[in-house]
Amino acid sequence: MNRIIPQADMPAAQLMQCSSDVAALLNLCHLAAWEIQNSNDEEEIAALADNIVQVTRLATELLEPVTEALATHEGLRSGT
């Protein structure tokens, strides 16, 4: 369940948007990791690492309703 809308109440367009948002967040993580590799500034590295942690938490949260919808659709969960 998304913290705002239960997965069962989300239309397919919202589930697709969650998936697209996760892809965008993963791209941000990729760019932040690249910046860490190429930076010598310890404060910048620490800030970017913290941002990666926060973004991956959000991506995980956004994937939850997508995973639940797929599991329900494929009959892996009942009553969800």
Instruction: Give me the pLDDT at residue 44, please.
Output: 96
Instruction: Give me the pLDDT at residue 66, please.
Output: 86
Q: How many domains does the chain have?
A: 1
pLDDT exceeds cutoff 70 at 23: yes
Note whether residue 34 is domain-resident.
yes
Domain extent at residue 46: 24-70
Higher pLDDT, 36 or 65: 36
Average pLDDT for 28-32: 96
Note whether residue 61 is domain-resident.
yes
Note whether residue 15 is domain-resident.
no
pLDDT exceeds cutoff 50 at 7: yes
Taking alpha carbons only, the member of 67, 36, 74, 69 closest to residue 52 is 36
Candidate from 8-12, 66-70, 72-76 with smallest mean pLDDT: 72-76
Tokens found for residue 57: 């938490």
User: Please, where are the H alpha helices in the chain?
Assistant: 12-37, 42-73
